[in-house]
Amino acid sequence: MRSSIGLSERLKSLDKGQNPFDKNEDRRETRSEAMADLEDVQTVDLMSELLRRLKCSQKPDKRLIFIGPPGSGKGTQSPIVKDEFCLCHLSTGDMLRAAVASKTTLGLKAKEAMDKGALVTDELVVAAVASKTTLGLKAKEAMDKGALVTDELVVGIIDEAMNKPKCQKGFILDGFPRTVAQAEKLDEMLKKRGTGIDKVLNFAIDDSVLEERITGRWIHPSSGRSYHTKFAPPKTPGVDDITGEPLIQRKDDNAEVLRSRLAAFHTQTEPVIDYYAKKAVLTNIHAEKAPQEVTSEVQKALS
């Protein structure tokens, strides 16, 4: 069904002279064919997409990092900020889960660490981030053979992911960088592009609040929409509000694995917060507040 591809994606491919209804991004078709296909799109949809694009063109570019322990609300706030500022949302957790679901060697290696609540190695993360890019596929090839991914490739991979049209106005990195080594690699890459991180939002929260948030979370796997039995319940228990599809609980969302995830956060990710504090781009968010209050704080920090 055509509706599986968003109109905005179709218009982007038209911009590039491709057929916007062609699901195979690599196949190039003519602009006139694309225009003919667009005749099928409802005028009201076309107009609202054009208005959205016009609004987006007036937004300032933003390159953001959301950092915080598991359950602090990064994934809840990201879609709101993404829509408001027309950014792309790059979540390494989501990318790794997609790799796991695809049962590739990369995914199976990542699964082991994720199920235990440990961090996945830098090479695997970078390959997952970029698994749909040419360089990412090269990295996956190397890893599948047990070879190492070179630094040059690592830098190229993230660079390429950020070149995607949906990242044109900037990005939200959610769950990346998670170690100082990842932060340094990211900095190097952005420096070469003549750019840098504008703001890092630290979702600060006490560990004691997180068990209830994590054990009550339910997600809709294909969209990444997240719910909570107490704090953000779906209209019908166990069912996604938009698609009516079943919700699931993540395998690492239990009290025991949460302890390992928190330990990894305190030892490996907290130093990343200091790293950005020294660069004077860090803003602390009171992540223990109610979701709407957190949204207001985030919006204030980004205005």
C-alpha closest to that of 8 among 129, 166, 181, 133: 166
Q: Is 217 a catalytic residue?
A: yes
Q: What is the number of helices (H) and of strands (E) in the chain?
A: 14, 7
**Binders of ligand AP5 in range 6-25 (CB under 6 A):** none
**What's the closest the beta carbon of residue 208 comes to ligand AP5, in angstroms?**
13
Q: What sign does the dihedral 52-58-62-66 (CA atoms) show?
A: negative
Q: Is 10 a catalytic residue?
A: no
Indicate the residue whose CB is closest to ligand AP5: 93
**What's the closest the beta carbon of residue 92 comes to ligand AP5, in angstroms?**
3
Question: Pick the catalytic residue: 10, 62, 74, 82?
Answer: 74
**What's the closest the beta carbon of residue 43 comes to ligand AP5, in angstroms?**
37
Question: Pick the catalytic residue: 97, 140, 178, 225?
Answer: 178
Q: Of 232, 239, 273, 302, which lies in the binding site for ligand AP5, with binding defined by CB under 6 A?
A: 232
DSSP E strand boundaries for the chain: 62-67, 88-91, 170-174, 199-204, 217-219, 226-228, 282-286
| Residue 181 neighbours by CB under 8 Å, 6+ apart | 122
Q: Which is nearer to ligand AP5, 55 or 300 (CB)?
A: 300
Q: Is 213 a catalytic residue?
A: no
Binding of ligand AP5 at residue 170 (CB under 6 A)?
no
Q: Is 250 a catalytic residue?
A: yes
Q: Is 74 a catalytic residue?
A: yes
**Binders of ligand AP5 in range 56-115 (CB under 6 A):** 68, 70-76, 92-93, 96, 113-114
Peptide bond into 177 cis (omega under 30): yes
| Residue 266 burial (CB count, 10 A) | 12
